[in-house]
Chains A and B, each alone.
Chain A
Amino acid sequence: MTDLPTSRIDLKAVLHSSAPTVAKDDHSEGMSYLQSVPRRIVTLYLPLTIIVVVLLFPFYWMALTSVKPDEQLLDLDKYNPFWTWNPTFKHFYKLLFESYYPYWLWNTMYVAICATVLSIVASVFAAYAIVRLRYKGANLVGGLIFLAYLVPPSILFIPLATVVYQYGLFDSPLALILTYPTILIPFSTWLLMGYFKTIPFELEECALIDGASRWQILVKIVVPLAIPGLISAFIFCFTLCWNEFIYALTFLQSTSNKTVPVAIVNEFVDGDIYRWGSLMAGALAGSLPLVILYAFFVEHYVSAMTGAVKE
């Protein structure tokens, strides 16, 4: 993909600094001959391996548990707990055909996509107005939006619950679709402001001289040039929605309306001693869509993350 050059951090380099141009001025390659191989193993590979193993172990454990037969789950002495030779898809079968899991997955997806699209549209307008229209007080509004980014959901959920109730949105996906943008708009406006700043102003100037309206400029010039930024914002917002917990826990009540994270915590945790298999299968199935999305858009993801911080 073609990344627009954002201000100072080379986003591609964050992931692929082994690319030829970067490797050339990468000092570590030039210096590494000074380090002996054993020294490099102790100072670099060993700590790195330990950290990566610790970071990934819970996912291995989640995946392994979800395919283990029940008797092997709880009998740690007869079977080696770190591996299984006869995987079963029983837990996934139970999940898909004997529970509301497909509904929950659909709810999560539906809420995440609607809230993300709403927020991105609102953010494109807001970011463009702040960066390019430069109306009176634009800087102040930009600062306020940054502050809004710092307001955490944990202090808003109680008053929001009363607001949602007053508007008659309680226990409806619409409650989440309308409240999630408060988390997403500040973030994506801030991110898109950074992208819009990198678009050469001369392009807009030419269009203005040719008689284009602000609307035409936005739709035909700015948005197409900011596509990488839009993808970053979209993916990050989508992930945030999928991840959101406290609003979904507070505003939804009926089992079939819940989103995956809330449903798994509330509906799967019963007294059953054999629940671990289906619990882990549910957690894995709920994470996979995001991991797959992430695998395809790593660069955009990293650019969204670093972009939000560097501004």
Chain B
Amino acid sequence: MADVAIPRAKPQMSEAGAWAQLKHNRNWLGFWFMLPAMVFLIFFLAYPLGLGIWLSFTDTRIGRVGHFIATENYEWLWDDSIFWLSVFNTLLYTFVASAFKFGIGLYLALLLNEHMPFKAMLRAMVLIPFIVPTVLSALAFWWIFDSQFSIISWSLKHLGLISQNINFLGDTTWARICVIFANIWRGVPFVAITLLAGLQTVSPSLYEAAILDGASSWQRFRYITYPLLTPIIAVVMTFSVLFTFTDFQLIWAMTRGGPVNATHLMATLSYQRAIIAGQLGEGAAISSAMIPFLLAAIMVSWFGLQRRKWQQGENND
């Protein structure tokens, strides 16, 4: 749209030569402008991405050049029960955490969209868990879920609900619940605030019309709010799923994959195998195994965006 303006202005210019040259150079100019970003992205993103896939077909170790061993790493992983446990954990973690993040996030966005005192301050406070570095808040959760001095155990004991401390991070089921809870806690603000931004683009006149027609509040949500929010929900949830699936730091700070690998995600397992145990090839195979899942998530995002274009017309950015 914008670039049509230049060629149209051209015939009116006296210095047509300079203009033609500029137009001629446009691709080169674009190249020079793109150069710094491209250097970074090619050397530190595209190249390592390819290198990672190559490494997964070699037996490279730390300090030793590897040889091509075809799919041996993958065959090895195929029979590795810990790897499959980490796949299961990752899927469980992603699905449960994302579902809760979506539910609570949408609910919180709807609540924050109401009119009330101290609105701006409340909204600013809600976002704080998203600002604070994940590792540092994970440490706070580690302390809250301590086996002996947990404040939750203490409170429940004083309320008379339990008789002895809960071993939060030592028991497999509890450990999973705790890391999923911490992940939900960290992700809800992001979902809520972005959905809130989406909610504010919904025109109030739609609600007025619906109220005049006698729609209940549930009907207003189901037939006005939800359809209009669908595109932004698709994008937000894709991001959320993507970052939950590849999560590393929360687990590493809270449990390091324990107890008995019950909270090992694919990312933490690949770190343990590649960096701590030194088997770079095997670790690379684990992280390459995440790629199909990520592609699936990106496809969802793509179709979400397509649907939005279809709903709102091609010209909308």
Contact = CB atoms under 8 A, between A and B. Distances in A.
Interface of A: 7-11, 13-18, 23, 25-29, 31-32, 44-45, 47-48, 51-52, 54-56, 58-59, 61-62, 65, 73-74, 76, 81-82, 118-119, 121-123, 125-126, 128-130, 132-136, 138, 141, 145, 147-148, 150-163, 178-179, 181-182, 185-186, 189, 194, 197, 201-202, 205, 208-209, 214, 239, 242-243, 245-246, 249-250, 260-262, 264-265, 276, 279-280, 283-284, 286-287, 290-291, 294-295, 298, 301-302, 305-306, 309-311
Given A126-B37, A261-B136, A309-B235, A76 B128 contact: no
B37 A32 contact: no
A209 B13 contact: yes
A10 B133 contact: no
Closest 4 A-B residue pairs measured CB to CB? A135-B30, A129-B33, A152-B246, A126-B37
Contact of A154 (B114, B287, B317): B287
A180 to B, nearest CB: 9
Contact of B119 (A18, A74, A194): A18
Interface stretch (B76-84, B93-101, B170-178, B193-201): B193-201
Chain A at the B interface: mostly helix, strand, loop or mixed?
A: helix
Contact of B185 (A13, A31, A45, A54): A54
B49 interface: yes
A155 B291 contact: yes
A305 B44 contact: no
B159 interface: no
Given A138-B30, A159-B49, A55 B198 contact: no
Contacts of A145: 37, 41
B45 interface: yes
Interface residues of B, number: 111
Given A9-B201, A61-B144, A128-B33, A160 B44 contact: yes
Nearest to A150: B298
13 contacts: A23-B115, A26-B204, A129-B29, A154-B266, A155-B287, A157-B271, A159-B49, A161-B275, A186-B41, A209-B9, A250-B275, A261-B135, A302-B127
Chain B at the A interface: mostly helix, strand, loop or mixed?
A: helix
Nearest to B236: A309
Contacts of B128: 55-56, 59, 291, 294
Contacts of B317: 7, 194, 197, 311
Contact of B284 (A159, A208, A246): A159
B257 interface: no
Given A182-B45, A309-B235, A123 B298 contact: no
B41 A182 contact: yes
Nearest to B275: A250
